[in-house]
Amino acid sequence: MPKSSLTAEERLQRQGQPSASGIQNLIVIGASAGGHQALVEILKSFPADMPAAVVILLHRALGSPHSLKESLGRFTRLPIVAIEDQDLLEQGFIFVPPPAMTALFRDGMITVEHGSPAGPATTINRLFTSAAQGYKERVIGVVLTGLLRDGTEGLRAVHEAGGLTMVQDPLEAKYADMPTNAMEDLPVTFCLNLAEIGPALELLVRRTAQFETGLEVAIRTLRDRVALLVRLAEQSWRNPGTGTFLENELASLRREILSIDDLLKASVLGKPAAASPDPQVDEPQPDRTE
């Protein structure tokens, strides 16, 4: 059979698959020691219609018995693809390369890079740099808890390509090295608490797409709930106990809305808002050598 003259990009378009240019957003997340727990908390908040491809690189020893597809899959609505060699990069999927390896991007595909340079781990750097080269301003690079400096140069590449950069706040990271080093001499776009990262990513990937954000869904849901409570309260006069319950619910909602208004006023005045503490999740032992 003669070899096709079409490029990989053209073949994807011919097959009706998203091409490299068709990926609206690419999220690349790098983590090391303490990273499994952090990833669990982030993935919990991803919706099933996430308009982005997500690639996760967690430092693990070669031959690690822990499967990220299994251990993280219980906490996310998105399907996880364990890359063995090469896969089509698609929105709404999470991709994880094998332990101690990284992945590169080319023509709408994600490919495992077999073999790693000797010395300190640079798998996150190489993943981020390749993402920045291929997807430029559509990349969001995220560096989480971990030891040493992997991710620093990669995040710089994302920044220089016009993408967004994000780090876990070192003050609450289990291991502060990676996020701290990433912020050295680099104007990181966002430094967030762990509980804020997932919702922030869910919001930011919709910045260039015509999708209803999670915030808009929540507001619409709240408006509908308030309208229903008002209708019920107006018709509950025959049952004073129920009427009192509904009035208390409305009063509680008024207090919550006022507290949100206070937060909005504080943001206008430039006052930071406090974050809630993060829950704890058991995680596999990290590879301390990377």
d(CA 45, CA 52): 14
The residues that bridge with 164 in the sheet, in sequence order, are 140
**50: closest CA among 92, 8, 113?**
92
In contact, 54 and 25? CB cutoff 8 Å: no
pTM of the model: 0.73
Q: Is 187 within 8 Å of 159 (Cβ atoms)?
A: yes
**Domain 11-204, second-level architecture:** 3-Layer(aba) Sandwich (3.40)
Give the whole-angstrom CA distance, residue 186 versus residue 43: 26
**Under a CB-based contact definition with an 8 Å cutoff, are residues 149 and 181 in contact?**
yes
The enclosing H or E element of 106 equals strand 102-106
CA-closest candidate to residue 143, choices 164, 161, 118:
164
d(CA 196, CA 274): 11
**Would you call 189 exposed, middle or buried from its count of C-beta atoms within 10 A (0-12, 13-18, 19+)?**
middle
Tell me the pLDDT of the chain (290 aa) as tens digits.
333 333 444 444 434 444 445 788 999 999 999 999 999 999 999 999 899 999 999 999 887 877 899 999 999 999 999 999 999 999 999 999 999 999 999 999 999 998 766 566 899 999 999 999 999 999 999 999 999 999 999 999 999 999 999 999 999 999 999 999 999 989 999 999 999 999 999 888 887 665 566 677 778 778 887 887 787 788 878 778 888 888 888 898 889 889 888 888 887 766 555 544 444 444 555 554 44
Say if residues 203 and 212 touch (Cβ distance below 8 Å). no
DSSP string, 167-229: EE-TTTSSS-HHHHHHTTTS--SEEE-HHHHHHHHHHHTTTTS----HHHHHHHHHHHHHHHH
Reported as a single tens digit per residue, the pLDDT across 132-168 is 999 999 999 999 999 999 999 999 999 999 999 999 9
Kindly state the tokens that stand for 254. Answer: 């008024």
Cβ-contact 136, 157 below 8 angstroms: no
Q: Which of 131, 155, 7, 100 is nearest to 287 (CA)?
A: 100
Instruction: Give me the DSSP letters along 214-267.
Output: HHHHHHHHHHHHHHHHHHHHHT-TT-HHHHHHHHHHHHHHHHHHHHHHHHHHHH
CA 28, CA 115: separation in Å to the nearest integer? 20
According to DSSP H, which parts of 102-184 are helical?
Answer: 123-135, 152-160, 177-182
